[in-house]
Chain A
Amino acid sequence: MAQIEIKNVAKRFGSYQALHDINLTIQDQEFMVLLGASGCGKTTLLRIIAGLETATVGEVSIGGRRVDHLAPKDRGIAMVFQNYAVFPHLTVFENIGFGLRMKKLPNDEVKGRVERTAELMHIEQLLKRYSGELSGGQRQRVAVARALAMEPDVILMDEPLSNLDALLRMEMRAELKGVLAESNTTAIYVTHDQVEAMSMADRISVMHQGEIVQAASPIEVYRNPAAEFVAGFIGNPPMNFLPAAPAGEGKWSVAGQVMDGPSSGKPLKFAIRPEDMRPADEGLTATAKVVEPLGAHLLITCEVQGSMFRAVLDSDMSVKPGDQLTLAPQPDRMRWFDPDTTLAVA
């Protein structure tokens, strides 16, 4: 059992507050992704869990045991680094076996475990090579194998795929997800790539300016963003926002169109995903500016009352720049945000 509990963790570097009061529980064997733009504190949080950084305040527990005073090696974790950190002076075999050697395991056990994990990562033919003789993707596999060979309770990954090219990244994504699911470890995975986060995670913690804005399943984060930041960060293209003025109890005027919404006394922001817009007889009036055919869909960037607005429509539609469109939002997909707190309003 390796549930991870992070309680009131904050980190300050001099006068810079990198993390504010983080609270997060990661279930045993859960695949948790920390997602955010660079500088949001996700790597700092990971390094605090690893023990490479100490929290200014707060507690970290792994498997019910306080670990914040323990050295990284005593926390039952293994880590995959962004630049792999595959030791250049050791062969692939010795790299994978590094942690096992440090544990002073007998030779034949080291050999057995190294060979098993190498096979799992499909690098058994590379065991005698040095890292200088490996490609980026192979080094990545060595780094993952080195972590798996430790049979850790928790595996921490810091942007492990960010240095790979797009095709390889897609391949490794699926493979890594499969391997980790089989290994029964709890995984924390840091990335700035939302596609990676969506496709791999059991749960995503979206981080922004040193805080966790939302921690939920990928589909929940996508469908019901807890804050404007999440709505604008997740999804490609992201959610559209338009100002909404009160027009009676539960009624809102958005770009001249009256819609049903939550009851609130002050102006809100209306938000909708581009793919949740449909051409209709009645709806928002939009002027198409740029039309991008994407094969399956048409991505249309248009203007709605002076605001930029994107819609993803069926590729059968014929739309030219300058065309006037009438687009209706799918009612159950409409979301509302409070412009002051930036939080979602139900």
Chain B
Amino acid sequence: MNARLLPYVLILPVTLFLCLFFLYPFLLVSKQAFSTGAGFTLDNFREVTGYWKFPITMRNTLLLAAAVVPIQLALALLMATMVNKMKKGRDLVLYVWTIPLGISDLAAGIIWLAIFDQSGFLNSMMNGLGLVDKPVNLLTFQNPGIVFLAIMLAEIWRATAIMLVILVAGIGLIPKEYYEAAEVFGASPWKRFLRITLPLLRPSLQTALVLRVILAFEIFAVVAALGGTLFPVLMGETYAYQFDLLNSGAAAALALIILAISIAFTLIILRVLRVPKGATI
């Protein structure tokens, strides 16, 4: 086999797979989004963005991402630092912490529903402690804050570990000598975290944040389980257009809007956390 050709031959199967199952459907969706049957049009985009629920779903989605992702980032960094300091039982702790990753997002939503529901664990507990005399319905339109909080909690519980595993691997790559040098030259543990760990972790932070932010904009099942229609998000609306309103053109347009937001945020993250040339480990 020609050595120059070999790499291309090796990536051929996955390229074909991606073209067939990602690129081709993507092109079909784009076509659907930009047409209503007769030629190119932006009508679908006008329709979805003009709908009264659009600003609400957009705001909810962004708000949720803005509330959840920074907390997850901080938690994941804290947990990754702790795990890396552990001498024994490190793998066990890591496995336990990543269990939620193995659960589907809908199942995760249902677990938290079982806690916050009118007959759920939280109500039983409050009742048992004598805080309430009869079960209260927490997840209603009168309590938008609690609905938001429940969704936040479920998301943090469910998806922090994906950042954690990336950051644990990233921290493990930072040579110990840098920390020792920083210590000798007077950096406190907090300063070492700020001045050594964080900057040297930029490539991993990029990956973790891009992955997490994209997933945050695609949030659907957890919201559906806990909030139903109380907390409409972009992906929920896309689903409604496609399956309730049977308007696939509008669903396709909304899906592309989500894609555009994801790409925009990805570019911002890559830009902010870029590593200058020559400054890699």
Chain B neighbourhood of A52, CB < 8 A: 180, 183-184
Q: Given the complex, which residues of A lie within 8 Å of B281, measured CB to CB? A: 88
The reply on A129 being an interface residue by CB < 8 A is: yes
Bound Cα distance A174, B279 (Å): 30
Residues 95-140 (chain B) with a chain A CB within 8 angstroms: none
Least CB distance, A157 to chain B, in whole angstroms: 12
Tell me the minimal C-beta distance from A187 to chain B in angstroms: 15
Contact in complex: A129, B183 (CB < 8 Å): no
Residues of chain B within 8 A of A266, CB atoms compared: none
Report B155-197 CB contacts with A as 1/0, cut-off 8 Å: 0000000000000000000010110111111110001000110
Cα-based distance from A133 to B280 in the complex (angstroms): 10
**Is the Cβ of A83 less than 8 Å from the Cβ of B185?**
no
- Report yes or no: A132 in contact with B186, Cβ–Cβ below 8 A: no
For residue A166, CB closer than 8 A to chain B, the reply is no
Interchain CB contact (< 8 A) of B184 among A79, A129, A130? A79
What 0/1 readout, one digit per residue, does chain A (73-91) give for beta carbons within 8 Å of chain B? 1000111011101011110
Q: A83-B177, A88-B281 are in contact. Are A102 and B275 (CB under 8 A)?
A: no
CB of B279 within 8 A of CB of A89, answer yes
A9→B23 CA distance, assembly (Å): 67
Q: How many angstroms between the C-alpha atoms of A87 and B276 in the bound complex?
A: 13
**Chain A, Cβ-Cβ closest to B181:** A85
Are A73 and B279 in contact, CB atoms less than 8 angstroms apart? no
- Taking CB atoms, residues of chain A closer than 8 Å to B184 are 50-52, 72-73, 77-79
Q: Are B196 and A87 interface neighbours, CB within 8 A?
A: yes
**Residues 57-82 of chain A, each 1 if its beta carbon lies under 8 Å from chain B, else 0:** 00000000000000111000111011
Query: Which of A50, A85, A131 meets B278, CB within 8 Å?
Result: A131
Q: What residues on A are CB-neighbors of B279 within 8 Å?
A: 88-90, 130-132
Whole-angstrom distance between the Cβ of A307 and the nearest chain B Cβ: 44
A contact residues around B278 at 8 Å (CB): 129-133
Name, among A50, A90, A102, the residue most crowded by chain B CB atoms within 10 Å (CB to CB): A102
Instruction: Give chain B's interface secondary structure class.
Output: helix
In the bound complex, do residue A88 and residue B200 qualify as a contact, i.e. CB atoms below 8 Å apart?
yes
CB of B237 to closest CB in A, whole Å: 42
Tell me if A72 and B280 are in contact (CB < 8 A). Answer: no
* A51–B200 CA distance with the chains assembled, in angstroms: 24
CB proximity of A23 to chain B, nearest CB, Å: 25
Contact with A along B245-281 (1 / 0, CB 8 A): 0000000000000000000000000000001111111
Mark out the residues of chain B between 179 and 221 whose CB falls within 8 Å of any chain A CB in the assembled complex: 180-187, 191, 195-196, 199-200, 202
Measured between C-beta atoms, what is the minimum distance from A41 to chain B in Å?
A: 18
- Alpha-carbon distance between A82 and B200 when the two chains are bound, in angstroms: 20
Q: Would you call B200 and A146 a contact (CB within 8 A)?
A: no
CB within 8 Å for A87 and B280 given contacts A102-B186, A102-B187, A102-B191 = no
Q: Shortest beta-carbon distance, B263 to chain A, in Å?
A: 27
Known contacts A71-B183, A102-B186; is-contact A83 B175 (Cβ 8 Å):
yes
Among residues of A, the one whose C-beta sits closest to the C-beta of B279 is A130
Bound-complex Cα distance A90 to B281 (A): 11
Say yes or no: B181 contacts A87, CB within 8 Å.
yes
Q: Are A102 and B276 in contact (CB under 8 A)?
A: no
A103 within 8 A of B: yes
By the criterion CB–CB under 8 Å, are B183 and A130 in contact? Answer: no
Given contacts A85-B177, A133-B278, contact A99 B200 (CB under 8 A): no
Which of chain B's residues have a CB closer than 8 A to the CB of A89? 199-200, 202, 275, 279
Q: Which residues of A contact B191 (CB under 8 A)?
A: 102
Chain A residues in 8 Å Cβ range of B180: 52, 79, 81, 85
Excluding A73-B185, A85-B177, A85-B181, 18 further A-B contacts by CB distance (< 8 Å) are A72-B183, A73-B186, A73-B187, A77-B184, A83-B177, A85-B175, A85-B178, A85-B180, A89-B279, A102-B187, A103-B186, A130-B277, A130-B278, A132-B278, A132-B279, A132-B280, A133-B277, A146-B185
- Residues of B at under 8 Å CB distance from A? 175, 177-178, 180-187, 191, 195-196, 199-200, 202, 275-281
